Amino acid sequence: MTLRVYLFGPLQVTWQGQPLPALRRPRLQALWAYLLLLHRHRPALRDQLAFSFWPDNPEDEARAHLRRHLYLLRRWLPPAPDGGWFIAQTEEVRLNAQAELWVDVWAFEDGLTQGEAELKAAVELASADLLPDLSESWLVLERERLRRSYARALARLVMFSQARGDWPATIQWAQRLVLHDPLNEEAHRLLIALYYASGNRPAALRQFEACRRLLREELGVEPMPDTVALRDLILRTESLTESWFASPHLIGLDRPLLTPTLNAGRVIAPEGQRTTDDGRRTAVPFVGREAEMQRLLGAWRQAVLRSGNLILVGGEAGVGKTRLLHELAAHVRRSGAPVLWGHCYAFERALPYQPAVEIFQALLPQLALSHLPPLWLAAAAHLIPELRQRRPDLPELAPPRSEQEQSQLAEGLCRCLLGLSYQQPLLVLLEDLHWATESTLTWLHVLARHIHAAPILVVGSYRQEEVGLGHPLRDLIRVLRREGGNAPLLLQPLAGDTVQALVEALSGLSEAAVGPARTLYAESEGNPFFLLELIRHLEETGQLVQRGGRWAGPWIEAIQAGEKPALSLPDSVREAISARLDRLSENARVLLSCAAVAGREFDLAVVRTALDWKEERVLRALEELLERGLVHEQNGPQRRDHAFSHHLVQETVYAGLPRAWREALHRWVGEAMLARYGEAAAGELAYHFERGGARERALTYLKCAGDQAATRYANAEALDYYGRALTLLEARGDDAPSRPLRFDLLTARVGVWELLGRREAQRADLEALQALAQALNDPHRQAQVYARWADFYEEISDHAASARAAQNALMFFQRVGDRRGEAQSLHDLGLAAYRQGDYRAARDTYEQALTLWQEIDDRRGKALTLNHLGNLLRQIGEYATAQAYHEEALALCQALADRIGQAESLRSLGALYLFMGRTTLAQTYYEEGLALCRAIGYRRGEAAHISGLAFAALFQGDYAAALAHQRQASSLYEAVGDQEGWIWLLIGQGLLAWHMGDQARAGQCWEQARGQARQLGLRRLETWAMDYLGNLMREQGDYAAARHTLEEVHHLAWHTGDRRLAASSLHHLGQLAWDEGNPVAAASCWREAAQVRAALGLTALAQASQARLAEALARLHTPPSEEARQVAQAVWAAWQADLPYSEEEDEVRQGVLALAGAFACLGEAQRAQDCQAQARRLSQSRARHIAEGVTSSGGCPAPGAQETDVRL
């Protein structure tokens, strides 16, 4: 007897004239097809088969999977007379050459090389695609190869019929060729010519219009000139030449065949299959989603043209979101593009970046061979360790030090995915986004910002009823709607007429389907899953059967008799599922229960280990579940090789488990997962042990899972794990053994609160930590708590308290011999002293910290302290050393991939060059740092860099740009609560108001800055604000107040070592003495200010002081002294070569006027006039900048950008 195998269309096998039961497992179908198609004449090596079907599993596991699948395949096939249809040996598997086996693909290919009659028979065999339900990559290539062979066969039949002059047959074969390859314009052109030559001119013109419409809709192009010329020829009713009937084999059949979206609403879904009474399978039509499908296909066409998109698809459970995504995937796969799937899971699978992990695991071969930038690939390797094994050259990403670095990883993952899409357009499908973790949503936010110029389409589904007002997915929905006008695609239940069309197609009853359709619609309310579950239940209970392709049975008969038969499960599909579960064998029910505890997707090996069953018992029970359609096989993430057919099945099974049995299963599954995965599955282990009542083990893995989530920047998940662990500890009571673990959990959670800026929660946990450390009487833990308090007080700008905490931490760290803690405490003490303006103490402690960092070889700590020490040296005028420190810190951070540290070093370099008057170079560093801050989501750094750009623009005279930057920085500083940065911004706003001539507003800004700095103990900022206020008082004629203020500034500046500020106060004191009529005192002040400024390298400001000194000297004596002439000529010579535009533009302009006065006293009238002209040009330039600033912004900013009294 012959076994007949049909591979065109869904797999069918007949034996002795009867179809075999459907082989429901896709992997088994693919394995059988692989042997038949690729190994017809040669054996397949076992290792090759195992790797091809289970590439992500270890070799021993892959071979075990192969062994089990060969066993199941042999059980499904009928006994072969000659010892089996295939022979499985130790190292290879081959088809049995003695067995009588007929395969439609073999017959098709044999017929291609024969005559017309055999060719016709071959074409009839291949009227459907090869195994359209399966999506293995090797099968996609085979399917494409056979489609091309089929097209060539049709072309040959056109040629045979045309040679005989059989026009009807020729047109028929040409029509089939067009239907097979609708985007082949040459085939359309041939059919148009054949219609016209046969005398059917209207059909020819209709065919042209159909061709044009299709090309426009699918490819966005017009027909080729040859096709248009043929249409024009037909319109003129001219005769056709032989060239229009070129042999069909010249038609472009060697290219991949593109499949259009014809009848997209009726595409057959892979999972939508039903079995008729004769064993043949029919498809469940895809109805009621035509508009939604067209929108997604349109988005795909745009993505192929490098106009990507992210679209969300929402709807209730069972409404058809997954089916819609599968339909889209099937369409895209037919065009040859890859489709990537990612899934989110309920709380037992709340793994950071889980969909990204699945997607990048599927892309592992491409990533390993990719030439993408190493930092991008390193982000992917952070999630997929296998990539680092294949690419050991990739840099190690540094552990995160900031909450903002969560977006750094998301940015790298985004860049990786987009980079791969430029090699080939990608479709990414994400399911169940209502379960998405914070990390996944961060990744999607980043992806949404960058996707629009890439050849990629991302479609994500979510349950609408799960996304309430406070759900984090709503933020992404708002962003998509606001930035791209991209509203979610919301699926509604099927309408009554759509359900009727579906029932008509399934039942074969035509108009008689109205009654059954109404009943099913009333029970399912248009939910497709519920509807199909009800039909399945009717079939399994014998109420509905297939006879001759039509529905029959008691239920149909009752409806046709006018009765209203009650479905056994009228109110709840859960009950329908439960009824199906009741019909399972005991083994199948136990296996399903354990699987439900393991999760929606599960690893069969874990379930088997948990139950401690032998393999054959597991396989027999699994086979029953597969046959019942309750679970299906899959290529799941992280070895999850099986999944429930629908989440409601898993939820129903789980909810029905008795508590004691459910807890035992959780413990068993936890132990099995621990043995198989180890701590890599800490989140799931914690869940199972927690649900299983194993509290001690749950605590261990909750802590481990929290640490893993924090390492991946998944802060919300980390807080959840730490919080659950602390809750378990509280239930145990405050016993002594619990205290160390409670301390570690609180310490870890404090770190997360600090990153998130949640100060009240941070303070509460710190207070609890302090009490615990005292109760434990552990000096090292006490040191850790004090160090955390130092960080807390620094964040809220209470630097005196920060210093006290750091001093206590230092004392305890020294007592226990923790040198790294000692170095960090010294750094914190230096930072507190620097913030309070005590530069000498700050320098000493920074240098002590630096020595310790070097001794213990801690490069990250060294970079941190070098950068802060450079900031201090900048303030006291040691610019060269400061520059060297900043550049060394930057190099260290780059080597460590510390992007936060890089951003801080770039900001410090910008500030340094700003102080040195090199504003263009400062702007370059600020812009580079700003781009880095935005890339990693570092908002505090972003505010600081924008504020720096505002100062740079101000000192370059670009008031409009300065004002715009200040307004951006203002909103950011308020958002992140950086009070010190806010005060610097107030000082800058005062300077801008001063330059624009608004002294009142400038005074308000500086007064507010002084008050806030004094309140926070920030003496450095307070003295800068006072210097500007003192000069303002002088301008306003309040000389006594001005002198008191400026002398206090001068004293504080010399005391702290801030030579730049000391020189500024000296210059202003000189102006004050001049205004008071004391040129001798003025000259003394200006002489000293010029010397200090020159020593600091502040050339423009030094020359301004020298110009004022020249005028004072010229007016002191008659005739003027030689010194006055020398000073004036030196400044004039320098300014003739290059008159600088300084950050103190008023000082330069006043210096030019003073120089004019000096030359007038010296009798050099021409130079005096030249100086006056130069001063006028500076004044005009200033007026122009003021006008531009006012015009572009509507006026100068008020203090705090918004209101005078700013509360932070």
**CATH no. for residue 590?**
1.10.10.10
What is the structure's pLDDT at 1198? Answer: 39
What is residue 221's three-state secondary structure?
coil
- Does the pLDDT value for residue 647 go beyond 80? no
Average pLDDT in the 594-602 region?
93
Residue 60 neighbours by CB under 8 Å, 6+ apart: none
Banded model confidence at residue 277, pLDDT cuts 50, 70, 90? very low
CATH number for the domain harbouring residue 1054: 1.25.40.10
CATH number at residue 434: 3.40.50.300
Residues 624 and 714 in one domain: no
Lowest-pLDDT choice from 270-279, 704-713, 847-856, 1113-1122: 270-279
User: What tens digit of pLDDT does each residue of 995-1021 get?
Assistant: 888 889 999 999 999 998 888 777 878
pLDDT-derived band at 634 (thresholds 50, 70, 90) equals confident
pLDDT tens, residue by residue, 504-519: 888 887 777 788 888 8
pLDDT at 1184 over 70: no
Q: Given the DSSP bridges, would you call strands 281-285 and 18-19 parallel, antiparallel or unpaired?
A: unpaired
Helix (DSSP H) and strand (DSSP E) numbers for the chain = 54, 19
Does 504 lie in the same domain as 482? Answer: no
β-bridge partners, 430: 342, 460
12 and 151 housed in the same domain: yes
Select, from the ranges 389-403, 405-419, 748-762, 898-912, the one with the highest average predicted confidence (pLDDT): 898-912
pLDDT at 40 over 60: yes
Question: What pLDDT score does 63 carry?
Answer: 86
Do 363 and 484 belong together in one domain?
yes
Sheet holding 339-343, edge to edge: 339-343, 426-431, 456-463, 309-315, 489-490
Q: Minimum mean pLDDT among 162-171, 273-282, 587-596, 634-643: which range?
A: 273-282
Q: Are 595 and 721 in the same domain? A: no
- pLDDT for the residue numbered 257: 36
In this prediction, residues 50-59 reach a mean pLDDT of 78
Q: Give me the pLDDT at residue 1192, please.
A: 42
Mean residue pLDDT of the chain comes to: 83
Residue 290 has pLDDT above 50, yes or no: yes
Q: What is the DSSP letter of 281?
A: E
Could you tell me if residue 1201 is inside a domain?
no
pLDDT given at position 1208: 18
Q: What pLDDT score does 255 carry?
A: 35
pLDDT in tens, 767-785: 999 999 998 889 999 999 9
Query: Which pLDDT score is estimated for 116?
Result: 85
CA 207 to chain centre: 46
| Distance of alpha carbon 383 from alpha carbon 239, whole angstroms | 67
At 636, the pLDDT band (50, 70, 90 cuts) reads low
φ/ψ of 1078, rounded to 5, equals -120, 80
1035 and 1101 share a domain?
yes
3-state helix, strand, coil in the chain (%, to 5): 70, 5, 25
In a domain, 254, yes or no: no
Let me know if residue 989 belongs to a domain.
yes
Residue 1208 inside a domain? The answer is no
Predicted structure pTM score: 0.58
Domain shared by 909 and 1036, yes or no: no
- Mark whether 483 and 522 lie in a shared domain: no
> 1179 lies in a domain?
yes
CB half-sphere exposure, 78, CA atoms < 13 A: 19
* Same-domain pairing of 486 and 430: yes
Instruction: Using alpha carbons, list the distances in angstroms from residue 314 to 396, 458, 914, 1115, 1163.
Output: 38, 14, 52, 83, 86
**Domain residues for 625?**
584-657
What is the count of structural domains for the chain? 7
- Asked if the structure places residue 950 within a domain, the reply is no
Rounded Cα gap, residues 967 and 180, in angstroms: 61
Per-residue pLDDT at 937 = 65
Q: Is residue 689 part of a domain?
A: yes
Verify that 157 and 66 share a domain, yes or no: yes
Q: What is the DSSP string of 407-464?
A: HHHHHHHHHHHHHHHTTS-EEEEEE-GGG--HHHHHHHHHHHHHGGGSSEEEEEEEEG
Measured over the CA atoms of residue 1191, residue 1192, residue 1194 and residue 1199, the dihedral's sign is negative
78 exposure class (CB count in 10 Å sphere: 0-12, 13-18, 19+): middle
Q: What is the pLDDT of residue 1182?
A: 56
Q: Is the pLDDT of residue 952 over 80?
A: yes
pLDDT tens-digit readout, 298-356: 999 999 888 899 999 998 777 889 889 989 998 888 777 888 988 887 654 456 788 88
Residues 1021 and 924 in one domain: no
What was the pLDDT predicted at 1202?
Answer: 29
Structure confidence at residue 1206 as a pLDDT band (50, 70, 90):
very low
Does the pLDDT value for residue 1066 go beyond 90? yes
Residue 253 has pLDDT above 70, yes or no: no
Say if 359 falls within a structural domain. yes
626 by DSSP, 3-state: which?
helix
Cα distance between residue 379 and residue 935, in whole Å? 14
Going by DSSP bridges, is the β-strand pair 545-547/642-644 parallel, antiparallel, or unpaired? Answer: unpaired
Check residue 401 and give its pLDDT. 54
Answer yes or no: is pLDDT of 260 > 70: no
Q: Which of 837, 835, 861 is nearest to 848 (CA)?
A: 861
- CA 591 to chain centroid: 37
Note the pLDDT tens digit of each residue in 539-577.
877 888 888 778 888 888 888 888 877 665 434 466 667
Handedness of CA 713, 719, 720, 724 (dihedral sign): positive
Residue 796, pLDDT score: 75
Q: Is 373 helix (H, G, I), strand (E, B) or coil?
A: coil
pLDDT tens digits, residue range 1099-1115?
778 888 999 999 999 88
573: closest CA among 633, 495, 651?
A: 651
Per-residue pLDDT at 271: 37
Nearest 5 degrees, angle CA 394-CA 396-CA 401? 150
DSSP-assigned letter for residue 398: P
Asked whether residue 95 falls in the same domain as residue 34, the answer is: yes
The model's pLDDT over 445-469, given as tens digits with 9 standing for 90+, comes to 989 988 988 999 999 999 886 776 6
Strand 3-6 and strand 18-19: pairing? unpaired
